[in-house]
Amino acid sequence: MSKKSNGLFAFMTGIAAGAAAMFLSKEENRKKTTKTIKQATTTAQKAKTEYKKNPKAFQKKVKTQGKKLAKKAIKSATKKKTATKKVATKKTTNKKTTRKNVSKK
């Protein structure tokens, strides 16, 4: 049974490696990736130094940022949910039949 999971893992790793190679084959994608990695590295280093200075304050800051992000995500999700709900429940109205519209037999 372990052979099957290793085969699946190797398969998934191959797919990921192929996708990465395809993405990184373009020069502009390599530049964007390098830029993003540099930004992430500097952000991580800043967070590390801030944590070393005062761990409790850093934890409090991260917790409040997480709460704000969660509220924002919930608000965005509920907006999308209500928008799709409105579209789904929207009915087409037929013209009302009046005496003028009704044909005589």
Q: Is residue 39 part of a domain?
A: yes
**Residue range of the domain that includes 66:** 23-73
Q: Is residue 8 part of a domain?
A: no
Total domain count, the chain: 1
Distance (Å) of CA 13 to CA 1, 3, 62: 19, 15, 33
Q: Is residue 94 part of a domain?
A: no
pLDDT of 8 reads: 85
60-81 per-position pLDDT tens digit: 999 999 999 999 999 888 887 7
33-56 per-position pLDDT tens digit: 999 999 999 999 999 999 999 999
Q: How far apart are the C-alpha atoms of 62 and 47, rounded to whole Å?
A: 10
What is the token pair recorded at 27? 């020069």
Identify residue 82 by its one-letter amino acid code. Answer: T
Provide the whole-model pTM.
Answer: 0.49
- Is the pLDDT confidence value at 1 over 50? no
Q: Is residue 13 part of a domain?
A: no
Q: Is residue 80 part of a domain?
A: no
Q: Is residue 34 part of a domain?
A: yes
Q: Is residue 96 part of a domain?
A: no
* Closest C-alpha among 49, 51, 52, 23 to residue 36: 23
